[in-house]
Amino acid sequence: MKRKLISAIGVAGMMISLAACGGDDGGDEGKTGADGYAGQTLTVWVMDGSSPDQWQKDVAAAFEKKTKAKVKFEIQQWNGIQQKLTTALSEENPPDVFEIGNTQTPAYAKTGGLADLADLKAEIGADWTESLNNSSVYEGKQYAAPWYFANRVVIYNKKVWADAGIKDLPKTRDEFYADLKQIDAKTDAEPIYLPGQNWYHFVGLVVGEGGELVKKDGDKYVSNLADPKVAAAMETYKKFQSLSKAPKDKDEATPQQGEVFGKGNVGAFIGMGWEAGIAIEANPKIEKEIGYFTIPGATAGKPEGVFLGGSNLAVAAGSKKQELAKEFLKIALSDQYEGQLAKLNGVIPNKESLQGNVKGNAAAEAMAPAAAGGGTTPLIPEWAAVENAPNPVKTYMTAVLNGKSPAQAAKQVEDEFNKRLAQQQ
């Protein structure tokens, strides 16, 4: 769930939410305390593109109505966010509420920088989807609230596929490969754009194989890249990567794969639904050609494993506005606004009951079948250090793509990987 979410997916919801607002909280609890918050401003960090302007505006209005306090959204970039967040949390005035990636949450929970949200969970979190809430729980305590989730899909160019004479969308991994081969043979387009370090997709393949990136050795975690299941996932990755001319040592953001796809001469790429927006921004004419389908798995019945990216909302332990921050979370995560976010951004909401909101969003509909079989990187505090550049998993991938055997490549990065997992906390 990295980088820029395209906020311009839709402008619906405004009327509905304003209308709903009016009917809401006429005179319920909090009235007495409400005036106590007047004049205060809550600072909320959200990641670039993760919440549309409309959502922010509506939530801010509802928040002000209920608490008389204002909310200030500050947009952050994913790149280098851990370093920035660490510094901010150490300061006198940290952001009161902030968005944090699900795989990063355990490390921050361990630092003591996140406030305990047990009472919030008790109040509004009874029906949060358990698998989505896992990353927020550390040593039995609730340190964050699940916000939204998403996984990758195949984004394809209908024209290129039609030119190659392909009629049906692939149902299995082999069919997918055969279709790409056919594009290669029958058109002059690049069948798939798959850079060597789209490591979130690789994590998805590992999940699909039932593998794990780390294993326990005594009381510490060590690299599990040498596992045959990981090797099998990497072989699948390599097979598809060989059809792409994309650099083997770059990730999907350098250059933005959406931009490459936007040039119109690429059959497909594996990305988040919102990355189609990047392509459209680069080349508006491509919009009508874009289609989505679930990444096909080994068999027709079961989609490919996917990395279940997502974000949680946390309250800074050092914030002086703990109560107000929780009031904000109650509004932002209410069915109304959680549903609105799912609808506008085409992301998976934190409860099953709100899933209906993504109906009609093609990317979200392609995403949904794979979500159930999705997984994440290990949810342990030690993991955060692994993701710091240069990420040894990326190094491993490039090594295999450049001709090393998976076993050799695993051995090559093992020291660095283990060093990071063992890094003093």
Name the residues that contact another protein, by CB under 8 A: 82-83, 86-87, 89-90, 107-108, 110-113, 245-250, 255, 318, 384-385, 388-390, 395, 398-399, 402, 412-413, 416, 420, 423-425
In contact, 261 and 290? CB cutoff 8 Å: no
In contact, 262 and 280? CB cutoff 8 Å: yes
> Nearer Cβ to another protein, position 108 or 161?
108
**In the bound complex, what is the minimum distance in angstroms from residue 106's beta carbon to another protein?**
12
Structure tokens at 73: 């959204």
> Nearer Cβ to another protein, position 283 or 395?
395
> Nearer Cβ to another protein, position 56 or 412?
412
> Nearer Cβ to another protein, position 341 or 409?
409
- Provide the 3-class DSSP secondary structure of residue 151: coil
Structure tokens at 51: 């919440």
**In the bound complex, what is the minimum distance in angstroms from residue 61's beta carbon to another protein?**
33
> Nearer Cβ to another protein, position 150 or 399?
399
**In the bound complex, what is the minimum distance in angstroms from residue 386's beta carbon to another protein?**
10
- Locate tokens 């040592």: which residue? 249
**In the bound complex, what is the minimum distance in angstroms from residue 361's beta carbon to another protein?**
32
Contacts of 94 (CB under 8 A, 6+ apart): 88, 113, 316, 318, 319
Burial of 330 (0-12, 13-18, 19+ CB in 10 A): middle
Q: What is the dihedral of CA 240, 244, 249, 252, to 10 degrees?
A: -90
Return the closest-CA partner of residue 65 out of 101, 34, 89.
34
Report the C-alpha gap between 161 and 176 in whole angstroms.
12
> Nearer Cβ to another protein, position 235 or 416?
416
The Cα angle at residue 123 between residues 313 and 34, in degrees rounded to 5: 80
**In the bound complex, what is the minimum distance in angstroms from residue 112's beta carbon to another protein?**
5
| Neighbouring C-beta atoms of residue 323, cutoff 10 Å | 13
> Nearer Cβ to another protein, position 108 or 237?
108
Contacts of 392 (CB under 8 A, 6+ apart): 223, 386, 413, 416, 417, 420
In contact, 89 and 44? CB cutoff 8 Å: no
**In the bound complex, what is the minimum distance in angstroms from residue 239's beta carbon to another protein?**
20
Cis check: omega of the bond before 255, within 30 degrees of 0: yes
> Nearer Cβ to another protein, position 344 or 379?
379
**In the bound complex, what is the minimum distance in angstroms from residue 146's beta carbon to another protein?**
22
**In the bound complex, what is the minimum distance in angstroms from residue 379's beta carbon to another protein?**
17
Give me the amino acid identity at 131.
S
Find the farthest-apart pair of alpha carbons in the chain and give their distance in angstroms, rounded: 71
> Nearer Cβ to another protein, position 107 or 313?
107
**In the bound complex, what is the minimum distance in angstroms from residue 35's beta carbon to another protein?**
33
